[in-house]
Amino acid sequence: MTAGTGKNIVLLTAICGLAACQEGAGGKAGSSAQGASRIFPTEVLALRPIDLQSTYPATLMGQDEVEVKPRLEGTIEKVFVEEGAHVRKGQHLFRINSPATAKAMQQAQAQYATAGLDVERTRPLSDQGIVSKVSLSSYENALASAKAALEDAKASMGWVNVASPVDGMVGTIDYRVGNLVTTATTLTTVSNTSDIVAYFSLDEKDLYRWLGRWKGSSMAEKLRNVPPLRFVRSDGTAYPIPGRIETISGKIDPTTGSVSVRAVFPNRQGLLFSGTSGDVVLPDHRDSALVIPQKATFSVQDKVLVYAVEGDSAMQRNIKVQALSDGKSYLVDSGLAGGDRIVTDGIVNLSNGQKIQFR
């Protein structure tokens, strides 16, 4: 090897070494610059007033929903009302032709008349000592029994007219003139619809959230502080008169995990009908609330988390939320406060404790 050749080797080695160093430095610097250049969008949370509403499917029933049944067996002789008619308590709805009842009435009248004759015939004889006082007492007792039987028969005859047990609206009439009916037959129903009752279910989570929102040391006090409800019919039209929650069942159904709620809506104009379906809407105003975008959250098992910015790092934060009706936002119940900064997008590229740049 010549001296010239040796210099070339040294120079080539030096160039290669410099190139390698620059590539290594350039690779690390490039990677670092790439990580530092990723800027995540964030939001500083601010408390603000918000109007919320919770919607629950409901079915309406009259305040009093009474089945009308005859008190004797026979055929329908007359129908005095039509379906949907408004009736008063005691108003006649049907008349029943009951031959057995009529025959019982005739027999009771005959027995009463016979017993009366027996007493009239025996009393003078008893006064003269011809018939014993015991015999007279026996006839008098028979007369009293016959009189009681006659009164019962008269009462039964009064049952041929079937009257409405309450004020309300007549429901479906499935039996008409000529139909045979018994005491087990439901002729119709009468619904007292001056107030309409809406029944809906509330799951256990919502129940405790509700109870926490309403002021009061007892259930009765809390219910008095519940804001007025609205009812929206199945066609989307809103009933104009607000209602109130009357009772909440004291038992959670272990099968469904929910409780039954009874709400009442005034219905003096008769605009709501028993059997109607729709939604009960419970409004809820918050003077100060935190609302975050759903896309800023992710779930791990049953937990909802966000990345909160702490210093220059993204830290996972476990939060409690309620979904809002817009389908895009959450109301924050706990885990965040006004002034906190959260990452609002790109969270799939983050890990807990990762240092980030943000705007």
Q: Report the pLDDT value the prediction gives residue 283, as an integer from 0 to 100.
A: 86
Whether residue 157 contacts residue 69, with contact meaning beta carbons closer than 8 Å, is answered with no
Whether residue 230 contacts residue 209, with contact meaning beta carbons closer than 8 Å, is answered with no
d(CA 104, CA 111): 10
Q: Is 25 part of any domain?
A: no
Q: Report the pLDDT value the prediction gives residue 52, as an integer from 0 to 100.
A: 85
Q: Is 89 part of any domain?
A: no
Same domain, 199 and 261: yes
Same domain, 233 and 247: yes
Q: 224: left (phi > 0), else alpha (psi -120 to 50), else beta?
A: alpha
Q: On the CB side of 312, how many CA atoms lie within 13 Å of its CA?
A: 6
d(CA 246, CA 243): 9
Same domain, 251 and 207: yes
Whether residue 97 contacts residue 74, with contact meaning beta carbons closer than 8 Å, is answered with yes
The one-letter code for the residue type at 313 is S
Look at residue 119 and give its three-state secondary structure. Answer: helix
Element spanning 241, H or E = none
Domain-ending residue, one of 113, 143, 159 = 159
Whether residue 309 contacts residue 354, with contact meaning beta carbons closer than 8 Å, is answered with no
Which tokens sit at 188? 């119709």
According to DSSP H, which parts of the chain are helical? 3-37, 99-127, 133-158, 204-213, 219-224
Return the CATH number at 105.
Answer: 1.10.287
Look at residue 86 and give its three-state secondary structure. Answer: strand
d(CA 45, CA 213): 22
Q: Report the pLDDT value the prediction gives residue 91, as an integer from 0 to 100.
A: 96
Label residues 13-38 b or e (16+ Cβ within 10 Å = b).
eeeeeeeeeeeeeeeeeeeeeeeeee
Same domain, 206 and 237: yes
Same domain, 223 and 265: yes
Whether residue 284 contacts residue 206, with contact meaning beta carbons closer than 8 Å, is answered with no
Same domain, 211 and 273: yes
Which tokens sit at 142? 């028979």
Return the CATH number at 255.
Answer: 2.40.30.170
Same domain, 230 and 311: no
pTM of the model: 0.60
Same domain, 345 and 261: no
**pLDDT tens, N- to C-terminus, the chain (359 residues):** 444 444 333 333 333 333 333 333 333 333 333 434 479 999 999 999 998 888 899 999 988 889 999 999 999 999 999 998 989 999 999 999 988 888 888 898 999 899 889 889 888 988 888 888 888 888 889 889 989 988 888 888 888 999 999 888 899 999 999 999 999 999 999 988 889 999 999 888 888 888 887 888 888 888 888 889 999 999 999 999 999 999 998 888 888 889 999 999 999 888 898 888 999 998 888 889 999 999 999 999 889 999 999 999 999 999 999 888 788 999 999 999 999 999 999 999 999 999 999 88
Q: On the CB side of 354, how many CA atoms lie within 13 Å of its CA?
A: 17
Q: How many domains does the chain have?
A: 3
Q: On the CB side of 205, how many CA atoms lie within 13 Å of its CA?
A: 6
Print the domain residue range for 253: 54-62+192-287
The one-letter code for the residue type at 352 is N
Same domain, 294 and 345: yes
Q: Report the pLDDT value the prediction gives residue 1, as an integer from 0 to 100.
A: 43
Same domain, 335 and 353: yes
Which tokens sit at 258? 């929910």
The one-letter code for the residue type at 149 is A
Strands 74-79 and 180-181: antiparallel
d(CA 311, CA 26): 29
Same domain, 279 and 204: yes
Q: Is 35 part of any domain?
A: no
Domain-ending residue, one of 287, 320, 347 = 287
**To 10 degrees, what angle do helices 99-127 and 133-158 make?**
160
Same domain, 281 and 134: no
> How is residue 348 annotated by DSSP?
G
Sign of the CA dihedral 188, 189, 190, 191? negative
